[in-house]
Structure 1
Amino acid sequence: MIKNRDIVCIANTTWFGEYTKSTVQLMSRLAKNNRVLFVEYPFTWKDTLTTFLGKQKAPVSRMLGLKSRLELINTENGSKVYNLVPPPVLPVDFIKKDQLFKPFFNLNVALYKIALRKVMKKMEVKDPIVITAYNPFYGLPLIGQLNEALNVYYCYDGIGTRRHGKRIYAIDEAFSKNVDAIVTTSDYINDDKKKFNPKSYVVKNGVDFDTFYADAKNKVHKNEQKIVGYIGSLDHRFDINTVEFAVKNMPDTLYHFTGNLRNQEIKQRLDKFDNVEFFGSVKPNDVPALLATYDVGIIPYLVNDINKNIYPLKINEYMAVGVPVVMTPFADLKDFSGMVSVAENNETFVKTLITELEKDSRSAINKRIEFAKSNSWDIKAEEFGEILNKLLENGND
């Protein structure tokens, strides 16, 4: 494990939130032996306005400097992480012409850099390891600007156009070529990144095993009605057709969907069935107990080029509480061969669900739990740290 280093994480998320985030899990563990500064993705002035209107939740007081932008957070793993909320920036993604976009975005970068450098100076950060977590937009202009000893791109998803438009592809490629190394969460992403940078490594997603295991099942539920459950964002990735087919053809089975509803069509099409229930997002600490109520957990993602990159966090979380998993073939997750069921089409999805419900056993539950234990975030953080050590020792040659 890497020790006694300053680590600056240029994140693409906030620290707090509704769901588990791989960046947060890794940084909280690396912080046990290092000093970690987690820089949140900057909210815009539009986010500030919508928060005042009650339509969003952004840390406006910290963004505006009314409260300290820098806070020391006690993590659930016993470590401490410095958390920086940058000042608000201009909303620029809607600007299509680069001639107009660049000067405004450069202003955003300047504001971000000034706030970050001020904090780094106050903390007396020296020769930091900069880990840019899925944020090439800010990572690229900051290369060489933070006196870093090492600059690593942590890429945990495929690059898409939903937030930044098509310009993200050129930015991601340039960033990938110019960083010292890349760490990805799947073999598929890694194969893609190696085209741009030969120093590309894989650290796959994990699970907060001890937390989930505390609520794990120890036997098969004897409920009169079985529960097929899904937890996570209900968004553009979700395969509505496959799930609707299953709901129609298994009317005696309950389907529970829990999470942030970002694609209204999902509820419009499924809520009309008597065996379907939707629930809002739950606090992260409540997730393990909720998953343990399921008889089967599903990951019904669409099969497309974007989803091929996904290594879903929930796959290990389901298994850590002993729940069988049925998924669509959206990604090649060969590590889970023989441990999860992959259904190639609608009919197979239904047949597989029925089989998993009928054949589950205490021994199968224990096998899943042991498998998830080997994928704990503690182990993944050690893998990540060893890659950083190797890069430092070899001088990035």
Structure 2
Amino acid sequence: MIEGKNIICISQTTWHGEFTKSTVQLLSLLAEKNTIVFVEYPFTVKDVIFSVLGKQKAQVSRMLGFKKRIKDEKTDTGAIVKHLVMPPVLPVDFIGNESVFRKVFRINTFIYKNQLRQTIKKLKLDNPIIITAYNPMYGLPMINNLNEFLTIYYCYDGMDTQRHNSRIYNIEKQFCKEVDCIITTSDYLNSEKKKLNPNSFVVKNGVDFKLFAPHSKNAVSSIATVKKVGYIGTLDFRFDIAIMEYAIKELPHVLFEFTGYLLNHDIQDRLSQYKNVAFFKSVQAHEVPQLLAKYDLGIIPYKMNEVNKNIYPLKINEYLAVGVPVVMTAFANLSDFKSIVKTAETKELFKGSIENELKNDTNELINERIEFAKLNSWESRAIAFSDIIEKSSKVKSKNSN
């Protein structure tokens, strides 16, 4: 593992939240021997107003400078991450005219850059390594403006137009070309990014095995009269409602439970009409293992489209870590799991795989899944991530001399 580095993460997420984030997992482990600054998702003036009105949650006091913008966050291993909340920026995504957008966005980048420079000076972060985690919008204008030694793009999903409109595609393309290296979470993403930057590598998502191990199954449940199939995660546009509905209708004797943040209300509207379906609000990350352990099978029913080809779902290793069989649609080429997870191309196969896995599970298969997930721990992913940073640093140093 790398040691003694100053690392600043320009993030597109918050540090805290109701689901596991790969960026947080990796940085928490890197923080054990390095100085880490995590830059919180840049909230806007609109977010401040909505938070004051009670319609949203944002750290307004820190954003406005009434409280310290930099705060120490302790990781599960006792390491410290410097957590930075940015001043509020202007909402710009709704601006259609590109000339107007660029002028207004310059104000945002000035605010962002100025705060980062102040932080670098205050914390004495010489020659920082900048890791931009899925945020090329702010990562691109920061290049060569922070006296950085290395710029890395950590890309864990394909870009979409939901947040930044279609302009994000060109911004990300330019960003990919200018960074020192790219780290992706899937083979498909890597193959796409290599077309823009040859220094593109893969570090796939992992699992907090220490968290899940105490809840792992020892044997197939022989007590329950009704089999339970579970989905835990965000319920959004990626979810294939039609395939899921077919399985629910065809398997009335199986209980299907969905737990997570509901973004696409059509999912609940369509599926909650069936008696063998239940929906629950999202839970904290530490509550997930115990919840998964009560299921007889885990599902990942994502649409098979271009956007979802990029995905390496976090939940796949989490399901396996507690020993439950996994059935998913063929939304991505996840060849690593070919021998241990069932993949279905049609609704009939999806339904059939669920039925077969519930009927034919064994204690031996449970153990195989747990051992498989153990190899995909975040500790092993952090080592791989660290090795890429080390390799890229040596290349940068050599080219600079």
For Structure 1 versus Structure 2, the TM-score category normalised by the shorter chain is: over 0.9
Q: Is 2:110 the counterpart of 1:97?
A: no
Task: Give runs of aligned pairs for residues 178-197 of structure 1, distance below 5 A.
Answer: 178-197=178-197
CA distance in 2, matches of 1:314, 1:87: 33
Residue type matched to 2:42 in 1?
Answer: P
- Give the C-alpha shift of residue 65 in structure 1: 1.2
Query: What SS does structure 1 have at the residue aligned with 2:24?
Result: helix
Partner of 1:74: 74
Deviations 1:164-192 (A, max 9, x none): 01101110010000000100001100110
Deviations 1:20-58 (A, max 9, x none): 000000000011110000001111111111112222111
- Give the C-alpha shift of residue 60 in structure 1: 1.1
Query: What SS does structure 1 have at the residue aligned with 2:164?
Result: coil
CA distance in 2, matches of 1:59, 1:284: 21
CA distance in 2, matches of 1:350, 1:264: 23
Query: What SS does structure 2 have at the residue aligned with 1:72?
Result: strand
- Give the C-alpha shift of residue 216 in structure 1: 0.9
Query: What SS does structure 2 have at the residue aligned with 1:119?
Result: helix
Residue type matched to 1:302 in 2?
Answer: K
- Give the C-alpha shift of residue 394 in structure 1: 2.2
The answer to whether the 8 Å contact 2:150/2:396 transfers is no
Query: What SS does structure 1 have at the residue aligned with 2:245?
Result: helix
CA distance in 1, matches of 2:390, 2:244: 45
Q: Is 2:2 the counterpart of 1:2?
A: yes
- Give the C-alpha shift of residue 61 in structure 1: 1.3
Partner of 1:172: 172
CA distance in 2, matches of 1:183, 1:305: 20
Residue type matched to 2:125 in 1?
Answer: V
Deviations 1:121-164 (A, max 9, x none): 11000011110000000000000111111100000000111110
Partner of 1:328: 329
CA distance in 1, matches of 2:106, 2:218: 55
Query: Number of residues paired by the alignment?
Result: 397
Deviations 1:284-304 (A, max 9, x none): 110110011111100000011
Partner of 1:115: 115
Partner of 2:308: 307
Partner of 2:136: 136
CA distance in 2, matches of 1:126, 1:45: 31
Query: What SS does structure 1 have at the residue aligned with 2:230?
Result: strand
CA distance in 1, matches of 2:63, 2:396: 37
- Give the C-alpha shift of residue 214 in structure 1: 1.5
Q: Is 2:121 the counterpart of 1:124?
A: no
Query: What SS does structure 2 have at the residue aligned with 1:131?
Result: strand
Task: Give runs of aligned pairs for residues 198-237 of structure 1, distance below 5 A.
Answer: 198-222=198-222, 223-237=224-238
Q: Is 2:392 the counterpart of 1:391?
A: yes
- Give the C-alpha shift of residue 251 in structure 1: 0.6
Partner of 2:239: 238
The answer to whether the 8 Å contact 2:140/2:175 transfers is yes
Deviations 1:216-243 (A, max 9, x none): 1111122110101000000000000001
CA distance in 1, matches of 2:102, 2:54: 31
CA distance in 2, matches of 1:331, 1:50: 37
- Give the C-alpha shift of residue 78 in structure 1: 2.2
CA distance in 1, matches of 2:335, 2:259: 27
Partner of 1:52: 52
Deviations 1:258-278 (A, max 9, x none): 001100100100111111000
CA root-mean-square deviation: 0.8
- Give the C-alpha shift of residue 395 in structure 1: 2.3
Over 4 Å off, 4+ runs = none
Instruction: Compare 334-343 and 113-122 and name the one that shifted more.
Output: 113-122
Task: Give runs of aligned pairs for residues 252-267 of structure 1, distance below 5 A.
Answer: 252-267=253-268
CA distance in 2, matches of 1:89, 1:214: 43
CA distance in 1, matches of 2:77, 2:265: 36
CA distance in 1, matches of 2:325, 2:170: 40
- Give the C-alpha shift of residue 383 in structure 1: 0.2
Residue type matched to 1:244 in 2?
Answer: E
CA distance in 1, matches of 2:186, 2:5: 26
Query: What SS does structure 2 have at the residue aligned with 1:48?
Result: helix
Task: Give runs of aligned pairs for residues 300-379 of structure 1, distance below 5 A.
Answer: 300-379=301-380
The answer to whether the 8 Å contact 2:323/2:366 transfers is yes
Residue type matched to 2:145 in 1?
Answer: Q
Query: What SS does structure 2 have at the residue aligned with 1:115?
Result: helix
- Give the C-alpha shift of residue 244 in structure 1: 0.4
